[in-house]
Amino acid sequence: MRINGIGIPNEAMNTEKAAKANDAMGVDDFLKIMTAQLQNLDPMGGNSADTGEYIAQMAQFTMLEQLSALSESMETMNTLSQQQLSFSLVGKKVSVFDGENTIEGVVEKIRYREGLAYPVIGGSEYPMYMVQEVGGE
């Protein structure tokens, strides 16, 4: 069994989140803009706004906010499943390819540093992405 997608540094994910957060316009921002526009409407109808358009935009912002929350929940679930997978390797025979050699051994324990799992085999730590096979003889 090949294990992929595990071992992405948290710094990369956090940097991406920070960039999104700085550029994002939230529902509160939209409500402030909409309130200001409604307060400045001409009562004679010269610059009347389409209320249906405001409602549609509000629905879009609400949907985007919910999708963002769902995305964060999915990231949390992904992290938890990666932790579960790494813990399940303890006591199992694995093959690790370090770029030059294939090392085989039993996973003694899992160490976590900076959000990444490192199986310990024969006293040495290896990133999860180096694990090529679990089980075997």
Phi, then psi, of 116 in degrees rounded to 5: -110, 145
Helix (H) or strand (E) holding 115: none
Q: Across the chain, what does the average pLDDT equal?
A: 78
Domain 10-134, what architecture? Roll (2.30)
pTM of the model: 0.49
Cα–Cα dist 129/131, whole Å? 6
CA distances from 18 to 11, 56, 76, 131 (A): 10, 28, 16, 31
Per-residue pLDDT tens for 53-92?
A: 777 877 888 888 899 999 999 988 988 888 888 889 999 9
Could you tell me whether strands 124-125 and 93-97 are parallel, antiparallel, or unpaired per DSSP bridges? Answer: unpaired
Map out the domains of the chain as residue ranges: 10-134
CA triple 90-1-123, angle to 5 deg: 35
Give CA–CA dist 84/25, Å, rounded: 35
